[in-house]
Amino acid sequence: MHHSFQLELNFFSLIDILTASMTFMLGVLFLLSKSENKKANVYLAAMLCCLGCEVLDVLTESIVNENIILLQTSLFTIPFLLLYIHQTMNSAIKLWYVFLFGAGIIQNIIFYLGVDVHEFIYIEYLFNLSILVLILFVIRKHREMVNNFYSDLEYKSLHWIKAIVYVFFTFHVLWILEDIVAIQNDLIPDYFATISSILTFFMVFWIGHNGFSQSETFKQRLFFRNEKEVKIENAEKLKTAQTDYENLCQHIKEQKLFANPKLNLRVLSESVKMNEKEISRLINQQSNQNFYQLINHFRIEEFKILLNSPKASQLTLLGLAEEAGFNSKSTFYKTFKSQEGITPKQYEMLLKKSE
C-alpha cells in the first residue's frame, strides 16, 4: 500500500530545518578545520550532530504525518559538551566519563523495543541538569586556573560556553513547565516550542561563532595547588615570603616582563628560576590577587608612566596600552576602570587639566 507524506510547514518549522542543517554543516567543518583545538573539536562536532538529531526528531513529529524512527540523542548532547571542555583544557578525560553515555544507550534500547516509559523523561531531565551543573563547576575551576596562569584571558576563559549552559537550563525549565501546563492548556506548549526553536537557532550560531576562535587553553598540564593545605607559618617564614614576593615584583618591573602580551606563569617561572606553584602561592598570599590581576596592575602603572612621556604625543591611548603589554582593548578598558575608577580618556583629561 502506498503511503504519502503529509507536510505541515510553517515559519518555525523552516527555522528548525535551517537549524538542523547548520548543526550538521558546522559539525563537518569542525572535524575538517585545522585549528589549534582540533582534538576537542571532534567532541564539539559530535555534540552539534546530536543536537541536530534532536531538532530533526522534533521536526518530523511536527511536519510529517508518519512515524520516522531516528536515533535518540538527547542524553548524548550535553556529555559531549563536557568532554569538549575537558579536552580544550587539556585535562585528562577520566575513564568513568564513558559511563555518561550509558543512559543514552539505555534510552535508545527502550525506544527501539517500543516500550512506553513516560517516567523516563524525568530521569532524562535530572541527568542533563546534573551534567550542566557539573559543567558550570568545571568552568569555574578552569577560570581560577587561567587567572593564576595567564596575563591575558582572551579565548581562554570558556565564558562563551556558560551562555550555552544557561540556554540548556532554559530549555529544561520550559520542558518541565510544558509538562505541567499542557494538562490545563493546549496552546501553551506551542508557545514553548516556538521559544525553544528560536533559542536553538541562535545557540547553534553562537557555537559556530565562538568555536572556531577557541584554542586549547593549556598546551601542557598545569600544576594543581592543593587548596586544603594546612597553612601553618611562623613569623620568619612569613617575612621570607614577603621578601621573595618583593623580589619577584622587582624582577617583573625591572625586566618589564609585563610588556610581553603572551606572558604566563610558565614564562615567569623560567625567568625568575622559581617553580610555578611557589610563584602562584606568593602572589595569592602576599597581594590577595591572582597572576592575571597582578600583571595587569603593572601594565596599568606602565601605561600611566607612558601617558606622561613623549610617546603620548606619538601614540593613541590604545597604542600606549599595547606598549604596556595589553593586546585587547576591552581588557585594557575594563582593567583600567576597575583599578582607577575612571576611564583612560577621563584620566588623560585630568592629566591635561593639572598641567
Q: Supply the mean pLDDT for the chain.
A: 85
The pLDDT tens digits of the residues spanning 236-283 come to: 677 788 899 999 999 999 999 999 999 999 999 999 999 999 999 999
Query: Residues 6 or more apart from 352 whose CB is under 8 A from it?
Result: none
Q: Which residue has the cell 614577603?
A: 242
- Assess whether pLDDT exceeds 50 at residue 232: no
Tell me what pLDDT residue 7 has. Answer: 53
Q: Where are the domains of the chain?
A: 11-211, 235-354
Helix segments in the chain, DSSP class H:
11-32, 38-63, 77-88, 102-113, 120-147, 159-181, 188-211, 235-254, 265-272, 276-287, 291-307, 317-324, 329-340, 344-354
Under CATH, to which class is 235-354 assigned?
A: mainly alpha
> For helices 120-147 and 291-307, what crossing angle results, to 10°?
50
What does 268-297 look like in DSSP terms, one character per residue? HHHHHT--HHHHHHHHHHHHS--HHHHHHH
Q: Please compute the mean of the pLDDT values over residues 16-44 and round it to a whole number.
A: 91
Who wins on pLDDT, 296 or 234? 296
Q: Kindly report the CATH number that applies to the domain delimited by 11-211.
A: 1.20.1070
- Assess whether pLDDT exceeds 70 at residue 101: yes
Other beta carbons less than 10 A from residue 210's beta carbon: 16
> For helices 159-181 and 120-147, what crossing angle results, to 10°?
160
| Closest listed residue to residue 137, CA positions, set 107, 161, 170 | 161
Tell me what pLDDT residue 182 has. Answer: 62
Confidence class for position 95, pLDDT limits 50, 70, 90:
confident
Lowest mean pLDDT among 132-141, 148-157, 162-171, 332-341: 148-157
Lowest mean pLDDT among 84-88, 119-123, 187-191, 324-328: 187-191
Q: How big is the chain, counted in residues? A: 355
Query: Residues 6 or more apart from 124 whose CB is under 8 A from it?
Result: 74, 75, 103, 107
Q: What residues does 64 pair with on adjacent strands?
A: 7
Here the cell at position 265 is: 606563569
Confidence class for position 66, pLDDT limits 50, 70, 90:
low
